[in-house]
Amino acid sequence: MKSIIRSFLKRKFSSTIIIISLFVAFVSTFLIAGFVINEYSVDSYHSKKENIYRLLSDDPWEEGHTFPHITKAAPEFIKNSFPEVVDYVQWNKNGYEKLEANNTTFFKDFKIYETGASFFDIFSFKLIEGEQSAVFLDRNNIVLSEETALRIFGSSNVLGEPITIKHRNETKNYLVSGVVETPKNRSHLYFDMLTSIEGKEFRGCNAYLLLRENTSAADFEKKLQNHKAEIPFFRNDTNVNYYLENLMSIYMSKELKTKITIFVIIAVLILFVAFFNYFNLISTQIFERENEVKIKRIIGGSYANIVRSLAAEFSILILGSTLLGFLGIKLFLPVFNAINQSALVFADFMQPKVLGYIFLVVIFVFILSYLATFLYVKKQSRSGASKLKKATSFPVVSTFQFAVSTVLIICTLFIIKQIKYVHSKDIGLNRDIVEMRLPPLNNDKSLVLKELLLENPSIDKVSICSASPVREGAMVLYSFEENGEKKEYSPLYFSGDHEYINTLGISLLDGQDFYPSATQNSKKCLVNQAMIQYLNLKDPIGKTLPGSKNEIVGIVSDFHWNSLENKIPPSMIAYSNSGSNVLVKINPELYQAGLKHVQESWNKTIPDFPFDYWTIGDWFNKKHAKYDLMVRFITFFCFIAIFLSIIGLIARSIITINYKRKEIGIRKVNGARISEVLFMLNKKFMVWVAIAYFTAVPIAWFAMNKWLENFAYKTKLSWWIFALSGLLALGIALLTVSWQSWKAASRNPVEALRYE
């Protein structure tokens, strides 16, 4: 141990770089691994998970898509008709405006769902209060999560406690019949409260089937397709295909898989950048101990003993970095959660799967170092110092590191450019419009609120509507005949009063807007440009919209209702002078005063409900929040990769300069200027940085080109980003190497030659 400590102190610079590189890489990859494994563990604790499937069907409104919204009658029919199904349960969100319990009023604070009595038979949620067979015996029973019980009542022993829920014009009184223990792992079925499902026969909701053991899901799915005409659907004249989605696949959406893939790639790249630093430096340490190795060989030391001795030192470095990595997880976990918007805790990293991953990474690094040590010791004995010096220069290593950093720089800049494009693009709507949703209990007060709002000069326009386009839209199905052929299409349907398009800032291109009088707007509609193009309508003003009874009175410009990933669909706007949403256009010069008036008007009109609002821009940006998160995540780890590359380059440049210190001294004695010495020392590094850049560009171009395919509306792959990235990479390398080179070039040559 003393010899190991002496060796560390003698080579403290390279040992410190090794520890820092491995520490940063271990913390980064361990955090990402913990997140990925945690995501894949969602719903894994359900004991019957292999046999639980969510029922999907073709989406009748959007060709080529499936959706989980199934009629209530469908799963019951399937259970009664097919012996492969043991049981089923339904799952539906239960909307509400106000909840009263324990002398406290709550507004939309909880996630309440409706389900059936078989819920606890199919899923492994454990009741800590109440009997499983009795929690839904009565329609007025309600089940709480443990967290919700503690939040409302301060205790989980709350059986029989009353809860009142108000929704629309209906008030329901419930009694608590059970409390569910907080599960150790997450589930996509997250809830605060459960009530018994009820409603009309063809009401839609999610449905889960429990299949018998050893039932082939693929074969049963084919069986459902063969009997699709018999299975109830929303429309009796429509047959759709049914599909089975395993419980473990529900949470793992395509979007999440893409995110995880990006995270894993980043983790692997960081690990390899750090490992190359480590690999480069231990090879250098072995070279520096050439005489020590030769002496040990002369006095009879075997390759195995020498390798074991050196490997022991490197193992201490690896072990120390690993232990520091666990400390780093605890320290940097809040930062990681903030960047990733996750809620991981340190205990999540103590799971067997995460610890298994950490063990494999450490063993992988250890085995590679052992092999590298053995090969270099053997090579050193045979090849001599000059050949080994050449072998340990490892230009490929530095090239790889800077190629990785350059790829990440280019990708980060392009993602930022696309997100900036998203936030600045003209979406055909005024992003500053304020939107409020009235509680269903107060829908009749929308006109009163509108009149009160318009009393203040800071308010330019007010519109009453079903909702703004970016908040929600309905899809309608129209069918018509053309040249004897039946055709169907599903446009988006919006509705609002005569101020709707003016308030939102939608341009009227042709025809006229709605009249102020409701009677004049009966069966009238506006359509967007996409609708005209889709139906190939000629002179549409005054004609009936195909398949409907609505007369087209105006054509409006296209506007975005969804994210920029999707093309603007055919859309129509129908007239309606009632609705639950109020849109407010505030004078930009009086915005704060106007917003204050909006709040005061709300409090006067609807004092029983707290004021809540959002803007059109808020809703639109929310649709792209996942990309904002990606920018933060990739930018953060891009800096980590660059940091690792820099410290690797510093180490490499110092080692190279040490090898050339006598050459530098001789050149300076013979009259070489500092600039000439700098050029001599830097030129090779710059060549490899250039090679790294030209290697990175096609990789980054391909990656960004594929990523931008996700967007129907996107920025361009600008040449200046590639150029800027190259300059950044070159600048980083120059600053890193030149500082060390300048110190070496400006040193007194006598220091290098005094012993010659």
Average pLDDT for residues 155-159, to the nearest whole number?
92
What crossing angle do the helices spanning 719-745 and 395-424 adopt, rounded to 10°?
140
Average pLDDT for residues 428-452, to the nearest whole number?
90
- 347-377 burial string, b = 16+ CB within 10 Å, else e? ebbebeebeebbeebbeebbeebbebbbebb
Nearest to 444 by CA among 250, 168, 631: 168
Give the 3-state secondary structure of 425-464.
Answer: CCCCCCCCCEEEECCHHHHHHHHHHHHHHCCCCCEEEEEE
Q: Coil, strand, or helix at residue 420?
A: helix
**Cβ neighbours of 303 (radius 10 Å):** 14
Q: What is the Cα–Cα distance from 370 to 307, expressed in whole angstroms?
A: 7
Tell me: the pLDDT tens digits for 113-149? 999 889 999 999 999 999 988 899 888 999 999 999 9
Tell me: the pLDDT tens digits for 607-644? 988 898 999 999 999 888 888 888 888 888 888 888 88
Residue type, 269: L
- Report pLDDT for 390: 46
From residue 614, how far is each of 9, 318, 470, 713 by CA, in Å?
Answer: 60, 51, 11, 24
- Report pLDDT for 315: 79
Q: What is the Cα–Cα distance from 523 to 574, expressed in whole angstroms?
A: 8
Average pLDDT for residues 412-417, to the nearest whole number?
88
- Report pLDDT for 85: 94
Question: Is residue 383 pLDDT above 70, yes or no?
Answer: no
Q: What is the Cα–Cα distance from 228 to 239, expressed in whole angstroms?
A: 6
Average pLDDT for residues 342-355, to the nearest whole number?
87
Average pLDDT for residues 50-67, to the nearest whole number?
83
- Report pLDDT for 202: 45
Confirm if 542 and 525 have CB atoms less than 8 A apart: no
Greater model confidence, 658 or 489: 489
Average pLDDT for residues 238-247, to the nearest whole number?
86
Structure tokens at 216: 């082939």
Run of H or E residues at 87:
strand 85-93
Max CA pair span of the chain: 108
- Give strand ranges (E) for 169-215: 170-180, 193-196, 204-211
Q: What is the Cα–Cα distance from 685 to 652, expressed in whole angstroms?
A: 10
What crossing angle do the helices spanning 625-659 and 12-40 adopt, rounded to 10°?
160
Please report, rounded to a whole number, the percentage of residues in the chain having pLDDT higher than 70: 85
Nearest to 187 by CA among 75, 346, 66, 52: 52
Tell me: the pLDDT tens digits for 491-530? 999 999 999 999 999 999 999 999 988 888 888 999 999 9
**Cβ neighbours of 309 (radius 10 Å):** 18
